[in-house]
Chain A
């Protein structure tokens, strides 16, 4: 057994920022465990630009953004172990991992930070009828083939789901010579960022079919085409609206799911809305000493937000080890009236910084609505928003002084109001 103050699980953007956060808070006894053979996680395959506007005030590509963090990890001489797969975390913070050279390795940690990221929702989760031909890929798998291996998965492509990775791949495959016929989205709005709709679809005249879905995949050995249909308000296909489209490839960009197998196994309480751990203001999960940040906690739109959140988790892990974290859960944060969830879901007045960012997503599209914050019955914040969409994460800021002035406060509610 190796003693290690802080064990970080996953060396993507969240893990790297968490390590830097912990180091800069004064604890240097850190290790990052990464199952791949390089650090940076999924940023390595995101070769497009647009990363880092918040963090570095410039537009970087994924590999460039990653490189800045990896260089810092190397400069600070933070220990990393690649090709190391964590298989178990115990309640008393023993982290078990396997590595081809070292075999089974066990770390007794004082704090563990979960930064495992997320996975793509697979075809199996969609129940689309048809055979199981080759030519069906999740958008991220296709992205890996094209950008890392230099291999094109198909020539004539339909994309189901308008998440950002799907949109990015529509452009990428078009530029590499494929004919991207359409992007089909079951919702009446896109789940992707506006700039991606414009720069990945409109720039190349790729149609986006909203309120449509794929109802059948054709072909037995290779995809030969798909049937698409319009859907009603309940997202059921409407009879008689079916159209057939020829293609040899179907990409799925139908959502990301935080990867919490390890968290569930150790008994961390999971929020069914985010499918990530329930956390406090310090990003501590329901188990003492286990923290979570990044896409394992809730799926983000921007890596910049992943980095800032994970940095905070690293800092708080050090506070915990130093006995400076007050463990009593004081104030609940409730999401209601169009707010699907909040992260964090509780606050402790003794732990919060002067400003605490509470992140949330709306459950629908709202125009000219207000985001309100209630301290018990008292409305303290009421800010007008031109638009709120589930595809864009929102933030409200809670001031420490509000909490200090109200020592008996039980519940903070974040809601969307028409007026």
Chain B
């Protein structure tokens, strides 16, 4: 049965978890000292996801860059591709916080949104 080793991030203990799993799901978690470790292992092994944050250039803004993030977390293996896709994006000022910067990033149906506002240069 395949196993995976990972570090639990729920508290500073950082338990080293050993997770046995197959195609039907998690079979056994060892190394955790509390229930949270088990839940973390299940999510992290079956569907690891991350919110991705980056920046994109702003045209005619009072600042050169605007910070952005994926509106929800996306599969971990797409993190790098997401940042690469954002390399081709530029946005015209003004930018409002929460504004959609890129739709359907990496085919995930998830939007990338601005995390701050940038006013237009006068």
- Residues of A whose CB lies within 8 Å of any CB of B are 44, 47-49, 59-64, 66-67, 146-150, 175-176, 193-195, 197-199, 202-203, 386-389, 391-392
A-B contact pairs, 7 of them (CB 8 A): A47-B115, A48-B53, A147-B67, A149-B65, A175-B52, A203-B50, A388-B12
The answer to whether A175 touches B57, judged by C-beta atoms less than 8 angstroms apart, is no
A176 surroundings in chain B (CB, below 8 A): 83
Which residue in A64, A146, A149 is a CB contact (below 8 Å) of B116? A64
CA distance A61 to B52 in the complex (A): 10
Given A47-B67, A61-B53, A61-B67: A386 touches B115 (CB 8 Å cut-off): no
A199 touches B9 (CB 8 A): yes
Report if A61-B54 is in contact (Cβ < 8 Å); known contacts: A203-B76, A386-B13, A392-B12: no
CA distance A48 to B65 in the complex (A): 15
* Chain B residues with CB under 8 A of A59: 51
What's the A-B contact tally at a CB cutoff of 8 Å? 79
Contact A147–B80 (Cβ < 8 Å): no
Question: Are A389 and B12 within 8 A (Cβ)?
Answer: yes
Which residue of chain A has the shortest Cβ distance to B52 in the bound complex? A175
Sorted nearest first, the 8 A-B pairs with minimum C-beta distance are A63-B116, A47-B67, A195-B9, A150-B65, A61-B115, A175-B83, A194-B14, A63-B115
Given A47-B115, A198-B7: A67 in contact with B97 (beta carbons within 8 A): yes
4 further A-B contacts with Cβ under 8 Å, apart from A47-B53, A63-B67, A392-B12, are A150-B55, A203-B50, A203-B79, A389-B12
B53 to A64, Cβ gap below 8 A? Answer: no
Residues in B with CB closer than 8 Å to A148 are 63-65
Indicate if the CB atoms of A49 and B53 lie closer than 8 Å: yes
Q: How far is the CA of A149 from the CA of B57 in the complex (A)?
A: 9
Known contacts A148-B65, A203-B76; is-contact A197 B57 (Cβ 8 Å): no
Residue pair A67, B64 in contact (C-beta under 8 Å): no
Chain A residues with CB under 8 Å of B14's CB are 194, 197
B1 at the interface (CB under 8 A from A): no
From DSSP, what is the main secondary structure of chain A's interface residues? helix
By beta carbon, the residue of chain A nearest B50 is A199
Tell me the bound Cα distance from A118 to B13 in angstroms: 28
- Min CB distance B97 to A, Å, is 6
> Are B69 and A202 in contact, with the CB atoms below 8 A?
no
Hey, which chain B residues are within 8 Å of A66, CB to CB? 116
Smallest CB separation, A365 vs chain B (Å): 9
A67 and B116 form a contact (CB under 8 A): yes
A-chain residues with CB within 8 Å of residue B12 when the two chains form the complex: 193-194, 387-389, 391-392
- In the complex, what residues of A have CB within 8 A of residue B83's CB? 175-176
Residue B33 CB within 8 A of the other chain? yes
Note all chain B residues with C-beta closer than 8 A to A149: 64-65
Docked Cα-Cα span, A393 to B52, in Å, equals: 27
Q: Measured between C-beta atoms, what is the minimum distance from B1 to chain A in Å?
A: 22
CB contact list, B60-119 vs A, under 8 A: 63-65, 67, 69, 76, 79-80, 83, 97, 115-117
Q: Which of A62, A150, A386 contacts B11 (CB 8 A)?
A: A386
CA distance A64 to B65 in the complex (A): 15
Chain A residues with Cβ below 8 Å from B64 are 148-150
* Bound form: Cα–Cα A146–B53 in Å: 12
State A198–B10 Cα separation when bound (angstroms).
11
B51–A198 CB distance below 8 A: no
Task: Tell me if B57 and A61 are in contact (CB < 8 A).
Answer: no
Specify which of B7, B69, B79, B80 is in contact with A197 (CB 8 Å cutoff).
Answer: B7
Bound form: Cα–Cα A175–B84 in Å? 8
A residues near B65, Cβ cutoff 8 Å:
147-150
0/1 string, B1-33, CB within 8 A of A gives 1: 000001111011110000000000000000001
**Could you tell me if B9 and A47 are in contact, using CB atoms closer than 8 angstroms?**
no
**Complex contacts, A67 vs chain B, CB 8 Å:** 97, 116-117
